A = this chain, B = another copy of it.
Amino acid sequence: MTEIRARYLVETALNLEACAEAIAGEQSSGTFVAVPGEDAALRARARARVVAIEEIDGTDAPSLPGGRAMGGPVRRGYVEIAWPFANVGASLPNLMSTVAGNLFELREISGLKIMDIALPPPFFETHAGPAFGVAGTRRISGVERRPLIGTIVKPSVGLSIEATADLVSGLAEAGIDFIKDDELQGDSPSSPFADRVRAVMDVLRRHADRTGKRVLYAFNITGEVDEMRWRHDLVEREGGTCVMVSINSVGLAGVISLARHSRLIIHGHRNGWGALSRHPVLGWSYVAWQKFWRLAGVDHLHVNGLQNKFCESDESVLVSARACLTPMSPAKPAVAMPVFSSGQTVRQVADTWSQMGSSDLIFAAGGGVLGHPDGTRAGVEALQQAWDAAIAGVPVARHAAQHPPLARALAAFDGA
């Protein structure tokens, strides 16, 4: 394949053929009037082409305002568009401008969602993809044949450096695999980044010396490009192994720049994602969107969690998580480790295991660990016990009968 392809869900008052041609024209050689130079030769080499059209259903009222011929019934369907690689090159930011760009504003549509993209080989040659991914994360953490069990420092913001270090100490002693800063905790007057890294790594280095276990801590380095590099280097010097970035807040060029510099695991937090995805026919599907970040070099990608505290359905979460683990190309699988997080407790463990059929994931519970009625240690143990049960195929209630922390967690997080 020497083309770039994108598949869209569209809603339009036009027929789907006309809508697809409007998309292909706007995003390649066309504009709203004929101009000199857009001759047959130019169109042959540069115009995007409509590959496929599949009408699925219709609806009585347009989903979004601003479309042409509003008020009447509209059609919905999938359209697939192909661009010559020579229009774009292997640049991820320019790819984004080409497959998305102005399309959401077209009057020809009253809904458009990018469902998937397919890329030709130069993208896989130009971009390294995740440097660690699943295999590297397992190697560094020493966790095999089960998910990494993790937590998020809570309260999200406001905790002093000393209280953060104390919390991390208790979590490490309880046997946690992974801890992350909350995405609200960057480098702030209330928790200066360098102080936090030194205090936390002091705890985790001593823990590793004593036990041999290296707890992964994802320090939130979100910031400007040079700040992120500086923070990455500080984490590395202090013996840390993982940095976290709010990828929507930083953006594609900043994340690529960090990844090209990075020697640590990059944990990608997706906050802001809801603006791009919550409407059923506007924005991005996770399947299309995560491909950009994996090629950019992100090792872990948040996918929300089952029965989460937000609005996303379990079905959607599972599609996202499986997408992260699906190879992008034979030459460059670029697999990222999905991170289940948001309102997660012992109650979602069995379903997560049975639905995913893979332990290549991070299961991160913030309140679901730290909110355990018997404290942090019991919170970590309960989660470990829930995963032991799930992987052994033992019903969680039965396992809980022999494991008080799990029993207490099941009671405490009942319907939370």
- In the bound complex, what is the Cα–Cα distance between A102 and B309 (angstroms)? 11
The answer to whether A106 and B310 have CB atoms under 8 Å apart is: yes
The answer to whether B257 and A257 have CB atoms under 8 Å apart is: yes
The answer to whether B225 and A254 have CB atoms under 8 Å apart is: yes
Q: Does A239 contact B (CB under 8 A)?
A: no
The answer to whether A42 and B222 have CB atoms under 8 Å apart is: no
By a CB distance below 8 angstroms, the chain B residues around A31 are 154-156, 366-367, 371
Q: Restricting to A176-215, which residues have a CB under 8 Å from any CB of B?
A: 183-184, 186-190
Q: Does A123 contact B (CB under 8 A)?
A: no
Q: Does A69 contact B (CB under 8 A)?
A: no
| A245-253, A381-389, A397-405 - interface stretch | A245-253
- Chain A interface residue count, CB cutoff 8 Å, equals 105
Residue from A31, A225, A248 having most chain B Cβ neighbours under 10 A: A31
**Known A155-B46, A253-B250; contact A93-B223, beta-carbon cutoff 8 A:** yes
Q: Who on chain B is nearest to A43 by CB?
A: B158
Q: Does A356 contact B (CB under 8 A)?
A: no
The answer to whether A89 and B224 have CB atoms under 8 Å apart is: no
The answer to whether A190 and B276 have CB atoms under 8 Å apart is: no
CB proximity of A179 to chain B, nearest CB, Å: 14
By a CB distance below 8 angstroms, the chain B residues around A97 are 183-184, 186, 222, 246, 249, 271-272
By a CB distance below 8 angstroms, the chain B residues around A255 are 251, 253
The answer to whether A89 and B47 have CB atoms under 8 Å apart is: no
By a CB distance below 8 angstroms, the chain B residues around A155 are 29-31, 35, 37-38, 42, 46
Q: Who on chain B is nearest to A68 by CB?
A: B311
| A49-57, A128-136, A278-286, A347-355 - interface stretch | A278-286
By a CB distance below 8 angstroms, the chain B residues around A47 are 158
- In the bound complex, what is the Cα–Cα distance between A259 and B212 (angstroms)? 45
CB proximity of A284 to chain B, nearest CB, Å: 7
Q: Does A287 contact B (CB under 8 A)?
A: no
By a CB distance below 8 angstroms, the chain B residues around A279 are 64, 279, 282
Q: Does A98 contact B (CB under 8 A)?
A: yes
Q: Does A88 contact B (CB under 8 A)?
A: yes
Question: B-facing mask of A163-176, CB < 8 A → 1, else 0?
Answer: 10001000000000
Q: Restricting to A88-124, which residues have a CB under 8 Å from any CB of B?
A: 88-89, 91-94, 96-98, 100-107
The answer to whether A35 and B154 have CB atoms under 8 Å apart is: yes
Q: Who on chain B is nearest to A416 by CB?
A: B33
Q: Does A65 contact B (CB under 8 A)?
A: yes
Among B29, B84, B222, B370, contact of A94 (Cβ-Cβ < 8 Å): B222
By a CB distance below 8 angstroms, the chain B residues around A30 are 155-156
- In the bound complex, what is the Cα–Cα distance between A38 and B246 (angstroms)? 24
CB proximity of A238 to chain B, nearest CB, Å: 21
CB proximity of A43 to chain B, nearest CB, Å: 8
Which residue numbers of A lie inside 8 Å of B, CB to CB?
A: 27-38, 42-43, 45-47, 64-67, 84-89, 91-94, 96-98, 100-107, 154-159, 163, 167, 183-184, 186-190, 222-228, 246, 248-257, 260, 271-276, 278-280, 282-284, 304, 309-313, 342-343, 366-368, 370-371, 375-376, 413, 416
A-B pairs with beta carbons under 8 Å apart, 18 shown: A28-B156, A28-B184, A32-B416, A37-B370, A64-B279, A65-B280, A86-B189, A87-B157, A87-B190, A91-B187, A91-B227, A93-B222, A102-B271, A105-B310, A225-B254, A228-B253, A249-B252, A250-B253
Question: Which 9 residue pairs are nearest across A and B when measured between Cβ atoms?
Answer: A251-B251, A46-B158, A66-B311, A104-B274, A253-B254, A105-B274, A105-B310, A94-B186, A33-B371
